[in-house]
């Protein structure tokens, strides 16, 4: 199994409330994903973020460096909202089990970090699933204030394949370094869905 960490109530609740309140309305400046049964109903915004979101991103990057060092020995991690920022999944939307692209801007993607922004989550769907080669290993409820960090690699299978009945909101950053983890491919790789 790949390294991961999940903790609750890591960030100031007032900051998280500001990030929620300041979330821009969905419009043409949000990226919309609707790639059939494996990825659909996802909206993402990573540029022109409000000050509260940038403050959260900075705090996540600092914490991600500490957790990355503890979990998999990375000592040169740089946090970025590239590909991250606000993520909103429509009711019925899913993200199939997948591994992520491995490079951007000449650097290697080493970890994903998510902070969930959903109050009173009581939906049976929408949980983040972490898988190894044999199947489900962990299921993370996307409740407000829950933070998850996972190593990004060729074996870091994850997604939320069970649709929720409500909107699912999170804020994401990715952590990059100048070198890949030991044994990882150094060739550019895009997102790979397990059931594709």
- Output phi, psi for 111, to 5 deg: -160, 155
**14-66 residue pLDDT tens:** 999 999 999 999 887 898 887 666 778 889 999 999 999 999 999 999 999 99
* pLDDT for the residue 181: 64
Helices (H) and strands (E) in the chain, counts: 2, 12
Picking from 81, 59, 51, 63, the residue whose alpha carbon sits closest to that of residue 12 is: 59
> Cα(first)–Cα(last) distance of the chain, in Å?
22
The answer to whether residue 115 scores a pLDDT higher than 70 is yes
What are the angstrom distances between the C-alpha of 2 and each of 40, 42, 153, 167, 190?
A: 26, 25, 8, 28, 19
Token pair listed for 189: 């790789």
Confidence band for 173, pLDDT divided at 50, 70 and 90? very high
Cα separation of 33 and 68, whole Å?
A: 29
Residue 114 in tokens: 């998510």
* 137 touches 157 (CB < 8 A): no
Q: Are 129 and 161 in contact (CB under 8 A)?
A: yes
pLDDT at 113 over 60: yes
């Amino acid at each position: 199994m790949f390294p991961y960490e999940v903790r609750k109530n890591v960030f100031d609740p007032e900051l998280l409330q500001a990030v929620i309140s300041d979330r821009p309305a969905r419009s043409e400046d949000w990226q919309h994903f609707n790639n059939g049964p494996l990825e659909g109903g996802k909206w993402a915004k990573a540029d022109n973020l409000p000050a509260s979101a940038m403050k959260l991103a900075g705090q996540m990057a600092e914490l991600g460096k500490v957790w990355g060092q503890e979990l998999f020995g990375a000592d040169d991690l740089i946090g970025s909202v590239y590909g991250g920022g606000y993520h909103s999944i429509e009711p019925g939307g899913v993200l199939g089990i997948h591994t992520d692209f491995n490079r951007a801007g000449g650097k290697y993607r080493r970890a994903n970090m998510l902070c969930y922004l959903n109050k009173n989550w009581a939906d049976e769907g929408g949980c983040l699933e972490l898988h190894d080669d044999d199947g489900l290993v962990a299921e993370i409820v996307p409740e407000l204030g829950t933070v998850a960090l996972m190593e990004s690699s060729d074996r870091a299978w994850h997604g939320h394949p069970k649709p929720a009945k409500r909107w699912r909101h999170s804020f994401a950053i990715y952590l990059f370094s100048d070198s890949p983890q030991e044994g990882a491919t150094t060739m550019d790789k895009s997102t790979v869905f397990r059931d594709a």
